[in-house]
Amino acid sequence: RPRLFKERSLPKGESSVKAGGVSEDVAIFPHMPQLSRMLSVIRILLEHLTLWLPIVVCLAVGFINSPYACNTVMFCLKSINGPAFECTEQYVPKMPFIPQHLVSISQNQPGEEGNGKERKSLQNGVTRIVHQVVDYGRTADNEFLVPKIVAPYIHSCAEAMNWEQRWWGIDAGRPIITEIVEAIGLPPDKFMKTFNATFPNYRYNMLRTAIIWKYGGLYADTDVICLRSPEHLLDDNDFSYAMASEEKIEGALF
C-alpha cells in the first residue's frame, strides 16, 4: 500500500545525512526518507553478505563428510584473500577385504563353494559379498583410492561378517546396467545416453541397485560402520533393507 510522505527540499549544499539521517549515495529519494533508509540497510546487508557468505560456505562444507570439503575451504579462503591453506592428502590407497578362506572370485562364481571351509552364500541364497561404490581413481599399482576420512573403517562390515568385499565404479557397472535395460525391453543405446548425461549421484544410485540385482549380497555405503556382524539379520530373509524413518527406505545399506 503506498504511503504519502511530506515533501521537503534540501538546502543547496546540504547533505542528506543532515536532513534525513541517510547516506548521500543511497538517498535517491530525498522526499521519501524511509525508503532511503531501507535502501541504505539493504546496501549494508549486501556488503556484509558478500563478505561473510564465502566464510559461511566454508564452515558449512567443512562439516560435510565429502572428499571435496578441503578443496572448497581452500577456494573460499583464497577468494576472500584469507590465510594460505593447503589440503593434506585426501585419499589413501586401499584394497578390498578378502577373507583368507575364500578363493579368488575369478575362479568361483557367486554362490559356489570356496575351498570347502566356508559357503559362498547364505542358506537363503544371498551371496556373502559386501558391495561398495569406490570410484575415486586408482594408483599406479592399481590400488583403489579411498577418501582418507573413511579409510580406517571401510572394511568394517566385510571384516565383521568375514565376507568378501567388492568395490565398484561407474565404468565397471555400465555393462550390468545395460544388461538390465535389455532385460526389461528398453533400448539400451538411448537409455545409456541418458544415463551418462545425468548427475553422478543418480548414476551411483542406479549402480548400487544393479549390482545387487546381478550378484546379490549386501550393499553398504563407504561411511557405514558395522560394529558387529549383521549376518543373522540377513539369513532368514530373501531381501533386507534399513529404514531411515517410518516412511523412508535408507539406500545406504540393503
pLDDT per position in the chain (254 positions), as tens? 444 444 445 555 554 444 444 444 445 556 667 777 788 888 887 777 776 776 676 666 655 545 556 666 666 667 667 666 666 668 899 999 988 766 444 445 444 444 444 667 888 888 899 999 999 999 999 999 998 889 999 999 999 999 999 999 999 999 999 999 999 999 999 999 999 998 888 899 999 999 999 999 999 999 899 999 988 888 877 777 777 778 887 788 88
Collapsed DSSP state (helix, strand, coil) of residue 169: coil
Task: Give me Rg for the CA atoms of the chain.
Answer: 29
Total count of residues recorded for the chain: 254
19 vs 33: CA distance, rounded Å: 9
187 vs 193: CA distance, rounded Å: 10
The interaxial angle of helices 200-215 and 170-183, nearest 10 deg, is 70
Quick check: pTM over 0.75?
Answer: no
Q: How far is CA 210 from the centre of its chain?
A: 19
The C-alpha cell at 251 is 539406500
